[in-house]
Chains A and B, each alone.
Chain A
């Protein structure tokens, strides 16, 4: 579903991604972890070209993301992306946040889109707030709406960049449980997160990154019990501590 081959990226002189080769298979849940500044956000943001790459290739659902023929906006509309800071549109109701892209970009019928949006809100447990505005919601509620907004475009895969890092601890659970149920339904997911319990329970693979490289790809059990790379070992003993 998402294939990184020899991906290299520089911010000026600084190389943020170094020869990244990896694959997220259809229906897989991949958790990307690693110390701060290791390039996790950079990597996940290259998939929908929020960041450009300078070398290598990324295939998303069979499309060459950086190919000359790929239509950027169409590509992006097929990638579900969830941000750390939710980034809901504050001037629109919850419902309008969700229906905006399907109506304006896909030109779908308004009442159909609305019905679907209400189903999605129901799924994330937010249908009672359909007419509320984002700043009337808690962080956890906003993030659940943001997930519904991304799902409304019916993307074949969902990307999460630290979806719970901006949340108060008591709200982390509600967002993770929405993500878990998505995973259960077979959604392909790539998640940057520090929630190691989520990784343990839900992930099919854990990618460990450091200094712009993927140093280890393993099943969560193996990764947490017997990490092979020394950096991964120290990372895990750090989070245990």
Chain B
């Protein structure tokens, strides 16, 4: 037992702690950036799809099914090794200077998650009665404004539970970015393990950190949902 705690102490101090903390920071940054990207794309996809324009609907459906049916890991690789090589040389060089693996990881995760978010919001919107759109239109709100003030806020509220679940999924999926060299928490943990051979302790710390943040997200989501529900008292 004491050997175990000594190991744990070792992992949690000095350079090793430093590596883990930097990993946590990277994980959080990656999650935040890709979440933001995903949300912006998802909202656009929803609005595009709701135009009911044939081409637009098909394009969005294609986007969603592509991203839901290809493993996220493959998409990460595709962006980092594949698509980036199609860029002009100068841009490639510039990206390398700018921490390319982080940028491509955020793009790949964001694009992928956008597919889930947009489906969440879409089904949240389906629960809204058509009378809401009619009332908005009758008051003189055009398509975009009725979306913005009347339909989307209700759709997001309805979608909140699944959005929270998928946010947690996104948070966990950031660990895949280690495959293209992003030094996030999982990558950092493996480094610490390589230096210390304290496999169990290293991954225990890692597990607890993921657990902590996932629970935190769930908790915040629950509070947010509760607040909304109080407001809309059903």
Contact = CB atoms under 8 A, between A and B. Distances in A.
A149 B232 contact: no
B138 A89 contact: no
Interface string B123-151: 00000010110111111111001000110
Interface string A92-109: 000000001100110000
B231 interface: yes
Given A89-B150, A91-B157, A133 B141 contact: no
Contact of A81 (B129, B138, B150, B153): B138
A208 to B, nearest CB: 25
B137 A87 contact: no
The interface size bin for chain B is 20 to 34
Given A87-B131, A87-B134, A91-B153, A153 B139 contact: yes
Contacts of B138: 48, 50, 76, 79, 81, 83
Given A100-B149, A101-B141, A89 B231 contact: no
A50 B139 contact: no
B134 A135 contact: no
Contact of B233 (A74, A89, A133, A153): A133
Interface residues of A, number: 28
B54 interface: no
A89 B150 CA distance: 7
Contact of A101 (B131, B140, B234): B140
Identify which of B136, B137, B140, B233 gathers the most chain A CB atoms within 10 Å of its CB: B140
B231 A87 contact: no
B154 interface: yes
B231 A133 contact: yes
Contacts of A115: none
Interface of A: 48, 50, 72-79, 81, 83, 85, 87-91, 100-101, 104-105, 133, 135-136, 149-150, 153
Q: 7 closest A-B pairs (Cβ-Cβ)?
A: A77-B140, A87-B135, A87-B131, A81-B138, A101-B139, A76-B140, A73-B140
